Amino acid sequence: MSEIPEGPHRVIGTPSPTPTAVDAPSSSSSAPAEPPAATDPPDTGHAKRAERLVAALFILAFVAGCGFLAAYVGLEVGQSDIPPGADAVVAALRSNLALGTSLSVALLALGTGSMIWVRHLTPNIEIEEQRHDLKSEPADRAAFQKEFAEGAAISQVTKRPMLRRTMLLATAPLALAPLFLLRDFGPLPGRSMRTTVWRKGLRAVVYGTNRPLRPSDMETPGSMITVIPEGYSDDADALAKAGVILIKFAPGELHVPTVHDGKTQLYGMNWTVDNIVAYSKICTHLGCPVALYEQTTHHILCPCHQSTFDATEGAKVVFGPAARPLPQLPLGTNSDGYLVALSDFTQPVGPSFWERG
Ligand code: FES
């Protein structure tokens, strides 16, 4: 292999600092006007106070840092230092509180001290940072081209076209493989994200017992019960979207009509039976089951991120990160007097998705 002539001298790592506007000589007449040289700010009473304050903050950071280490060693959870009978959860809380407090104080004091130092004790100057041209030198590029051509010649890839072409052919399927792997994402969802198994006439049965319900089974205003579509108690996929909460109101508590579009106001039919209203149990934020109902405020709460829905006004959002009301299931009764769905939900249940926005 032929010797590669030595290229231009290259510097690996950080180059030695280029003279800055602060310390560059001012011999060149074309150089930009220099800012005034850095000088220490006058050691006034203000500066002295700032210095003492910074020192105090750094000492506080030191003490808090030592406290963090002491808390870590002394309050270790699950070790023999926990007195007999003490609750392990309490011990963990105690340790977390001590660690969190000491670390917060240390970082806060350190950060505040540094900020005061920079703002009140350092000279107020502008510093220019010189940057090298990102493009390589012509000599560097020529050396690379020469080296590349030599490597290609040594590998015989230019001299043996059959090998070159078959090698490219061999890699073609691998290049296309990622496209085929997209299939593993499964079939396109179609309308499955917009629909549930609820349909007209399907009875609502109590989750856990599969008992169908009549309106008279929910006599007490303020009561809430979780129901599922009849016949789907073993279908986890269906239940992931079809869970519904029934809430009973006293006469006059529900705002009529009860359906909310999430943007403006209540609209549409009054889909309730005997002051019983049915909402999706799937939170419209990230899909947790909404499981808590406050009788006095008529609020439905999601335990995950505290989204709160007003059950008297179409489950519109009154607090939290959810962006849409809980969809309402049109509720009716069949000829036997059991509670049934009048249709599927008219809006997709659960979190927003790409097509819905
Ligand atoms: S999932 Fe309900 S508030 Fe986040």
Residue 286 Cβ < 6 Å to ligand 1: yes
Q: What is the CA radius of gyration of the chain?
A: 36
Question: CA nearest 329: which of 253, 271, 285?
Answer: 271
Say if CB 234 and CB 209 are below 8 A apart.
no
Residue 221 Cβ < 6 Å to ligand 1: no
Which 3 state secondary structure label does DSSP give 142? Answer: helix
Residue 142 Cβ < 6 Å to ligand 1: no
Residue 283 Cβ < 6 Å to ligand 1: yes
Ligand 1 centroid from CA 294, angstroms: 17
Say if CB 308 and CB 299 are below 8 A apart.
yes
Residue 285 Cβ < 6 Å to ligand 1: yes
Residue 64 Cβ < 6 Å to ligand 1: no
* Residue whose tokens read 């549409």: 268
What's the CA gap between 318 and 258, in Å, rounded? 15
Ligand 1 centroid from CA 316, angstroms: 14
Residue 339, Cβ density class (10 Å: 0-12 exposed, 13-18 middle, ≥19 buried): buried
Mutate which of 285, 290, 326 for ligand 1? The one with the most ligand atoms within 8 Å of its CB, which is 285
Say if CB 313 and CB 168 are below 8 A apart.
no
State CA 162 to chain mean position distance: 52
Residue 304 Cβ < 6 Å to ligand 1: yes
Ligand 1 centroid from CA 70, angstroms: 38
Ligand 1 centroid from CA 289, angstroms: 8
What's the CA gap between 339 and 214, in Å, rounded? 6
Mutate which of 304, 308, 349 for ligand 1? The one with the most ligand atoms within 8 Å of its CB, which is 304
Encode 269-298: b = buried (16+ Cβ within 10 Å), e = exposed.
eebbbebbbbbbbbbbbeebbbbebeeeeb
Cite the DSSP H helix spans in the chain. Answer: 45-74, 88-121, 138-155, 161-181, 236-242
Q: pLDDT tens track of the chain, all 357 residues?
A: 444 444 444 444 444 544 444 444 444 444 555 555 556 666 788 888 899 999 999 999 999 999 999 988 888 665 555 555 557 777 788 888 999 999 999 999 999 999 999 888 888 777 788 887 788 889 999 999 999 999 988 988 888 989 999 999 999 989 988 888 888 887 887 888 889 999 999 999 999 999 999 999 998 899 999 999 999 999 998 999 999 999 999 998 988 777 776 665 666 677 899 999 999 999 999 999 998 999 999 999 999 999 999 999 999 999 999 989 999 999 999 999 999 999 999 889 998 776 664
Which residue(s) pair with 271 in the sheet? Answer: none
Q: List, in order, residues 6 or more apart from 332 with CB less than 8 Å away.
A: 271, 273, 339, 340, 341, 342
SS (H, E, C) 25-71: CCCCCCCCCCCCCCCCCCCCHHHHHHHHHHHHHHHHHHHHHHHHHHH
What's the CA gap between 3 and 101, in Å, rounded? 64
Question: CA nearest 114: which of 70, 188, 53, 176?
Answer: 53
| CA separation, residue 315 to residues 165, 220, 281 (Å) | 65, 20, 11
Ligand 1 atom, smallest distance to 287 CA: 1
Ligand 1 centroid from CA 243, angstroms: 16
